[in-house]
Amino acid sequence: MLIIILFKFNLVCEVTINGQSVGYIADKEAFEAKVNEIINKEEEAKLFTTIEYMPEYQLKFVDKTEQTNEEVILAKLEDSSETTYQLYAVTLDGEEKAVLSSLEEAEKIVDEMTEKYEDDIELDIGITDKITTDKEEENTVKVATASIDDEIEEKKEEIEAEIEKQKEIESHTVRGVYLEVTPVSGTITSRFGNRESIRSSSHTGLDIAAPYGTPIKAAADGTVTFAGYSGGYGYVVKVNNGNGVETYYAHCSRLYVSTGETIEAGETIAAVGSTGNSTGNHLHFEVRINGNEVNPQNYLYN
């Protein structure tokens, strides 16, 4: 009987994974050596490899026509394996920007960026450990350097733009009031302090020539204290902008706001004209501090 069994059957190892039979192998020892090769395969930045379900074995007689399938089983095991890597993330302002396989590579990028920008901006750039199973997110040094450099340049431009914006705001600010809008665009025909035959005293504002009907915009937020006809000013809008600051818009052809109205910077409040003591269409723009006229070009049209 034993001879018949050996003649018709082979003694093999049935392999089961997670309780399911996946095939047969002829040599358990050789097969396990290959499984260990999967687990111990050398790879850059690798910490370890795990296989979700390790194979189990059982000796079994099977018909000699039944084929062993070691390579198929090994492929299944490799597909179910998971490798964990020790990578290094370069961060900018606390956000991960690039992932490198070695600490030396990451440090090289940080040192290069720090040296390049140390005189321009304060960089919050550093390195954090990154334990991951996704090695696909790893960057080359060249790609990582270029990407981070581009982002820092963009950050630098934003900072420079903000600095310029702050300088502009400061140059247009009088006693905490930001004159952020130029009332009209045009040609300056008479500057503050000028003495001309049309008036008996020095000029108290700035004259900007513009076509009849050109919209006049409020230079800053405020409250209209007067909107109407006033002697040599003609039709004029006077605005209290706070902190003792006032702005006047004179010689208008039309007024679009009323006394007591709250207005915002950039709001159209009147139209250019030539009413009152005027020889042509223009805006007479005044800035006053505590009732005293100051040169508008200290803040606008400069």
294 plus 182 within the same structural domain:
yes
108 plus 209 within the same structural domain:
no
CA-closest candidate to residue 123, choices 159, 88, 98: 159
Which residues touch 157 (CB under 8 Å, ≥6 apart)?
none
294 plus 181 within the same structural domain:
yes
Query: What pLDDT score does 2 carry?
Result: 47
198 plus 257 within the same structural domain:
yes
Q: How many domains does the chain have?
A: 3
Query: What pLDDT score does 10 carry?
Result: 80
Query: What pLDDT score does 61 carry?
Result: 86
Domain membership flag for residue 171 = no
pLDDT exceeds cutoff 50 at 23: yes
Domain membership flag for residue 25 = yes
193-215 average pLDDT score: 85
Q: 37 falls in which pLDDT band (50, 70, 90)?
A: very high
How close are the terminal C-alpha atoms of the chain, in Å? Answer: 113
135 plus 202 within the same structural domain:
no
CA-closest candidate to residue 13, choices 69, 71, 65, 85: 69
197-210 average pLDDT score: 83
Query: What pLDDT score does 297 carry?
Result: 95
188 plus 214 within the same structural domain:
yes
Taking only the tens place, the pLDDT of each residue in 133-163 is 988 777 888 888 999 999 999 999 998 999 9
**Mean pLDDT, rounded, of the chain:** 91
- Rounded to whole angstroms, the maximal C-alpha distance in the chain is 137
pLDDT exceeds cutoff 50 at 292: yes
More confidently predicted of 36 and 201: 36
Domain membership flag for residue 266 = yes
267 plus 249 within the same structural domain:
yes
CA-closest candidate to residue 222, choices 191, 247, 201: 247
The span from the CA of 47 to the CA of 110, in Å, is 24
287 plus 237 within the same structural domain:
yes
Token pair listed for 268: 């159209």
Domain membership flag for residue 64 = yes
The span from the CA of 287 to the CA of 279, in Å, is 22
Domain membership flag for residue 78 = yes
287 plus 205 within the same structural domain:
yes
CA-closest candidate to residue 254, choices 220, 218, 215: 215
Query: What pLDDT score does 11 carry?
Result: 85
Token pair listed for 95: 């956000």
Domain end point (choices 59, 83, 107): 83
Domain membership flag for residue 169 = no
Structural domain containing residue 68: 2-83
Domain membership flag for residue 166 = no
228-244 average pLDDT score: 97
Domain end point (choices 65, 83, 101): 83
51 plus 138 within the same structural domain:
no
Q: What is the CATH number of the domain that holds 215?
A: 2.70.70.10
pLDDT exceeds cutoff 90 at 109: yes
- Model-level pTM? 0.61
Q: 197 falls in which pLDDT band (50, 70, 90)?
A: low
In a 13 Å sphere around the CA of 103, the CA atoms on its Cβ side amount to 4
183 plus 155 within the same structural domain:
no
Domain membership flag for residue 170 = no
Domain end point (choices 161, 192, 222): 161
Query: What pLDDT score does 1 carry?
Result: 47
58 plus 95 within the same structural domain:
no
pLDDT exceeds cutoff 60 at 111: yes
Query: What pLDDT score does 7 carry?
Result: 57
CA distances, 9 to each of 1, 60, 64, 225 (Å): 12, 9, 5, 110
